[in-house]
Amino acid sequence: MSTSTSTLPQNNELNEQSRKQLIRLLALILIFAVMNGTMFNVAIPDISETFGLMPSQVSWVMTGYVMVYAIASVMYGKLADMYPIRNLLTIGIALFAAGSLLGFFAPNYTTLLAARVLQAMGGATIPALSFIIPARFFPSEKGKVFGIIASTVAFASGVGPIAGGMIGGVLEWRYLFLFPAVSVLAIPFFRKWIPHEETRGGRLDIFGGLLTASVVASLLSYVTTLNPWFLILFAVSVPLFIWRMKTAEDPFINPAILADASFRTTVLTSFLGTSAMFGLIFVIPIMLRELYDMSTLGIGLMLFPGAMLAGIFGRYGGRLVDEKGSRFVVRLAFILITAGVFFISTFAGALPVVLALAIVVAYLGFPLVQSSTAGLLSSILPAEKNGVGFGLFNLFNFISGAFSSAIFGAVLDWQSVTYTLNPVAAHGDHAIFSNVFFSLGIVALIALFIFSRTFRSQETDPSFTKHEPAQREAAAEAR
C-alpha cells in the first residue's frame, strides 16, 4: 500500500490566520461533541425518574447514542473520501443541533431516544472529520493539530460529568440538550475557513455500509446486553461483510487498507490504549464511591486535575510528534498509562491525594495515544483513503469503550475477592479494584509490545528508508 500523505493544490492552502481560526473552532466544536457524550451519564437517574423507566430501558440513552455514533463515524469517514468536508460538517452539525432541540422538548421517552439518535447521527461528523482535516489541510503541522484535538478530547471527557452534574443539579436534565444546540453557530465559520474541495469520483457501496453497520451494531449490542441473539446476528453478519468487501467493485471498506500490517498494528494499538483509558474512566468513579464514599461532585473533582493537565500536556505532545516522530510518542504514551494504572493498583484504598497523583500520570498518556496514532495513520494511509481509514480508527476506539465498560463492569461484581494480583499491593477489601487496574496495566504493556515488535521489524528492513514517508520517519528515529 502506498503511504503518501494527502496534499492540496496551492490555491487551497490556508494562510496562517485561517489555520489558527480553524484549529480553534475545531477544538471548540469538539468540546460540544465530546461533552455531549459524557455529561448525560450523571443525568441517567433523573431521566429514569421523569419517565418511570427501568435501568435496562434508560441505559439506551447512552447505549443507543454510542452505537449510532460509532457506526456514523466510519460512514462519514468514507463519505469524506468522496464529498467536500465542509458540506459534510454542515449537514452533521445541523443534525446535531436539531437532535438537541428535539431532546429539550421531548414529551416522552420515545422522542427522547429519537433525539439522541439524531444527535449521534450528526455529532459523529465532528470527531470523524476532526482527524481528517489536519491530515488533508495541515500536512506540515499535523502532529501539532492532532495534539490539540487529542488534548481537547481528554479535557472534555473529564469535564463532561462535572458540567452535567452542575447543569442538571441547578436546572434540569433537559437543559443538557441546550448546550450542544449552540454548535449550529459554527456552521458559517466552517464554511468560510475550510478550503473548497471538488466532489471526487467513487461510488458509495450502500449494501457494504449496511453490512458494516450490522457487524458493529450487533457486536456493541451483545457486549452491552449479553443477549445471545445479537451474538448470532454478529456471527451471520461477519462472513457477509467479508464476502462483500472482497467481491464489490468499490467496497465500502477497501481490503487493501486492512491488509497493511502497519495500519492494523496502529489501529490495534489505539484500540488497546483507549480500552485501558476507558476502563480507567469507568472504574475510578465506582471505586471512589465504594472505597471513599465520595459524592458525584467529589468524584468529578478527583478526575478534573488529570483532565486539565492532559489538555495542557496533549498540546506539547502534538509538537513532540512533529519533532520526535509518532512512534516515539506512542511508546511514551504507553509507558505513562502503564505506570499510572500500576500506581493506582498499588495505592487503591490509600489516601485520596496519592490516588489523585496516580490518576494524573495515567491521564497524561490519553492524549498522547490519540495524537501519535493519528499522526502515524496520516503517514500510512494513501491520500484517497484517509477518510475511511480514520473512520475505522474512530470506530475501533468507540468499540474499545464498550468492551471496557462491559468487561470490567462484570468483573466488579466479584466483590468477595480479597487477594491482589499486584505483588506490591496489600490484600483486603479493595483487592478487586487493585486487580482491575493491574489488568489495565497488562493491556497497556501488551499494546506496547505489539507496537514495538511490528515497527522494529520494519525499521531493520534494509529497504525501509528508501521510499515511504512513514518509513523515513522511523529511520530518523532509529538514528
> What is the pLDDT, as a whole number, of residue 239?
92
Q: How confident is the model at residue 282 (pLDDT cuts 50, 70, 90)?
A: confident
| Confidence check: pLDDT of 297 > 50 | yes
pLDDT tens digits, 90-110: 999 999 999 999 989 988 888
Give the mean model confidence (pLDDT) for residues 446-454.
87
* One domain for residues 300 and 446: yes
Q: How confident is the model at residue 59 (pLDDT cuts 50, 70, 90)?
A: low
If phi > 0 it is left, if psi is from -120 to 50 it is alpha, else beta; for residue 202 that is: left
> What is the pLDDT, as a whole number, of residue 8?
40
Domain-terminating residue out of 162, 191, 220: 191
> What is the pLDDT, as a whole number, of residue 384?
67
Q: How confident is the model at residue 393 (pLDDT cuts 50, 70, 90)?
A: confident
Give the mean model confidence (pLDDT) for residues 305-330.
76
- CA–CA distance, 29 with 80 (Å, rounded to integer): 18
| Confidence check: pLDDT of 84 > 90 | no
> What is the pLDDT, as a whole number, of residue 471?
41
* One domain for residues 424 and 309: yes
* One domain for residues 67 and 89: yes
* One domain for residues 308 and 224: no
Total of domains in the chain: 3
> What is the pLDDT, as a whole number, of residue 91?
92
Minimum mean pLDDT range among 32-41, 237-246, 265-274: 32-41
Give the mean model confidence (pLDDT) for residues 221-239.
85
* Domain annotation covers residue 3: no
Q: What is the mean pLDDT of the chain?
A: 77
> What is the pLDDT, as a whole number, of residue 459?
54
Residue with the bigger pLDDT between 168 and 345: it is 345
Q: Find the CATH number of the domain harbouring 390.
A: 1.20.1250.20
* One domain for residues 151 and 28: yes
* One domain for residues 278 and 385: yes
* Domain annotation covers residue 428: yes
* One domain for residues 225 and 275: no
Minimum mean pLDDT range among 78-87, 246-255, 463-472: 463-472
Which range, 13-22, 46-55, 448-457, 464-473, is most confident?
A: 448-457
Minimum mean pLDDT range among 63-72, 88-97, 242-251, 316-325: 316-325
φ, ψ at 177 (rounded to 5°): -75, -25
> What letter represents residue 438's amino acid?
F
| Confidence check: pLDDT of 191 > 80 | yes
* One domain for residues 223 and 318: no
What's the domain range around 32? 16-191
* Domain annotation covers residue 6: no
* One domain for residues 346 and 478: yes
Q: How confident is the model at residue 463 (pLDDT cuts 50, 70, 90)?
A: very low
| Confidence check: pLDDT of 468 > 50 | no
> What is the pLDDT, as a whole number, of residue 26?
85
| Confidence check: pLDDT of 322 > 60 | yes
Q: How confident is the model at residue 183 (pLDDT cuts 50, 70, 90)?
A: confident
* One domain for residues 130 and 242: no
pLDDT tens digits, 2-11: 333 333 433 4
Minimum mean pLDDT range among 203-207, 308-312, 451-455: 308-312
* One domain for residues 313 and 433: yes
- CA–CA distance, 200 with 383 (Å, rounded to integer): 12
> What is the pLDDT, as a whole number, of residue 201?
64
Would you give the distance in Å from CA 151 to the centre of its chain?
A: 12
Would you give the distance in Å from CA 31 to the centre of its chain?
A: 13
Whose cell is 496533549? That residue is: 314
> 468: how many CB neighbours lie within 10 A of its CB?
20
* Domain annotation covers residue 7: no
* Domain annotation covers residue 197: no
Burial 1-40 (b: 16+ CB within 10 A, else e): bebbbbeeeeeeebeeeebeebbebbbebbbbbbbbbbbb
Percent residues over pLDDT 90 in the chain: 6
pLDDT tens digits, 109-150: 889 889 988 998 898 888 888 878 877 777 777 767 777 777
Give the mean model confidence (pLDDT) for residues 63-84.
81
pLDDT tens digits, 345-377: 888 877 778 888 888 888 888 778 877 887 788
Q: Which helix (H) or strand (E) holds 245?
A: helix 228-247
Domain-terminating residue out of 157, 191, 225: 191
* One domain for residues 224 and 303: no
pLDDT tens digits, 329-347: 888 888 988 998 888 888 8
**Long-range CB contacts (within 8 A, 24+) of 100-104:** 100/36, 100/177, 100/178, 100/179, 100/180, 100/181, 100/183, 101/177, 101/181, 103/174, 103/177, 104/174, 104/175, 104/177, 104/178, 104/181
| Confidence check: pLDDT of 209 > 60 | yes
pTM over 0.75: no
- CA–CA distance, 273 with 329 (Å, rounded to integer): 13
Q: How confident is the model at residue 236 (pLDDT cuts 50, 70, 90)?
A: very high
* Domain annotation covers residue 5: no
* Domain annotation covers residue 196: no
> What is the pLDDT, as a whole number, of residue 13?
54
* Domain annotation covers residue 377: yes
286 half-sphere exposure, CB direction, 13 A CA radius: 19
